[in-house]
Structure 1
Amino acid sequence: MGKRSKRFKKASELINRDRVYAIDQAVEILKSNASAKFDETVDLAAHLGVDAKQAEQNLRGTISLPHGTGKKVRVVVFAEGENAQAALDAGADEVGVDDLVDKIAGGWMEFDATVSTPDLMRRITPKLGRILGPRGLMPNAKTGTVTNDVASVVNNIKAGQIEYRVERESGIVHVPVGKASFGKEQIEDNIQAVMGTLIRVRPSTLKGRYLKSVSISSTMGAGIRVDLQSFD
C-alpha cells in the first residue's frame, strides 16, 4: 500500500486539479504517468445529471469499443442444443445449463460476462439471481445478453463490447477504455465511442445539465479531468 501511495502522490503532483484538459492532453498525461510494472487499465468516469432511481433515467446498455479493452474476456453462455453449439463455435469459454448453474452456485466465478437464451432465464434466475445480480453479471435483455442469437453476442463481447450502467446513488458511469500500452489515438477513439453513446442515450425527460464531469485514470494513477467541449 505504501508503494502505491508514493506513486499515486507523485502522479498527482503532475496534474493540475484546478483545470480540465483537452482529451489529447489528458491521454498524453495519463500515459506518461502510467509507470507500474504491469499494463495498467485505463478507466473513464462520467458524472451524469440523472436520477437513476427513476426508471427512464436508470441508464444501462452496451458500447462497442473500436479497439477493445485489451483484456481477454471470458464468456459463459446458458444454452442448449444448436444454440449451445453456436456459442461454442463463436468462442464461448463455458456453455451449459443445469451443471453450469450448479457450478456457479457452488462458488465458481472465473468469467467476465454471461449470455442466455430467453427460454432458460426461468431456470437460472432462482439460483443465480442473487449471486450474479449484485456483480452486474446476470444476463439482461437491456444489454442484449438475453438473446437467441448467442453467437453474435459472444463475438461482440470478445471483440470489445462493454456494458455500462449508471450508479444508482452517484449518477456516475465507470467503464474501462483500454490499457496504458494502447496508442494515444486508440484510447481517444475508445473514449469518444463511450461518450458518443452516453450523449445519444440522454433521457428525453431530463431537465437541466446532463454531462457534469468526465475524468480518466489508470489503475495506479490519479484522475485527470477532461474538457467537456472535447465531446461536442
Structure 2
Amino acid sequence: MAGRVKGPTGRYAGRSAGERQAERRRRFLEAALELFGNSPGYRATTVAALSEAAGLSTRQFYEEFRNLEDVLAALHLQVNDEAEEAAAAALAGTADRQVAERAAATFRAYAAHVTGDPRRIRIAFTEILGVSPRLDHQRLARRARWVDFLCAEANRAVRDGEAAPRDYRLAATAFVGSVNGLLHDWSAGWVEATLDQIIDELVRMLLGSLRPADLGPAAEAAGPVRPGPPAVG
C-alpha cells in the first residue's frame, strides 16, 4: 500500500471530518491495544481482524494508516507519551522535595502507569522488538528521551548540592536499559518477584546513580517512599 486512502471531507451527523477521523483513529488504537497487547499479538493480527475488532472497515483502516506497523508505532508512542506525562506530573508534585523523594515518586508514577495494564507492558517492552529498523529506531529514540529526562533531573540535583558534578548520561542510559530489561523479563515470567519488589529495586538503582554514596545519607533522611502496589490486570 503506497499511501493512505483519502478520507471524506465535510460535516456528517453534526461532526466534522476531522472529528470523525480522530474517532476512527481512537477506535483502531483501542482495538490494537487489545489485539497486540493481549492476544493474538502484533505478528498474528491482520488488517481485517483489527478492523473487525474496531467495528470499522478495512477501507477506513487505510484512510488512517498505511499498514499494521504504523498502528504499532502509534500505539508505542502513545504508551510512552502517557507514561511520560505521569512521570512529569509526579515530578512537578514533588518539586520542593529532596532528590530521593523526587526520583522515587517520579519513577513509581512511571512504573505504576506502564504496568497498570499488562497490555501496555507488552506494547512497550515486547511487541515492539525486532519488527523493523524503523521501529527499532523509534524505540531507541524514546529511550534517549527518557535518558534526557533523567539527566535533567540529575543536573538539577547537582545544582541543589544533592549530587556530585559529573556526566550522568551513561548512568541514565544504564538505568533505562535496566528498566526495559527487568520489566520485560518480569512480564514474561522470568523474574520471581512482586511488582513492588521490582520497583523498589529499580528505585534503589536510580538513587544510587543520582546520589553517590560520598554525599551522605540524604535518601535515608528523606525516609522511605512506599506506595501501595500498582494494579496489574
TM-score normalised per structure 2: 0.27
Larger radius of gyration: 2
Greater RCO, 1 or 2 (C-alpha within 8 Å, sep 6+): 1
Q: Which has the higher helix share?
A: 2
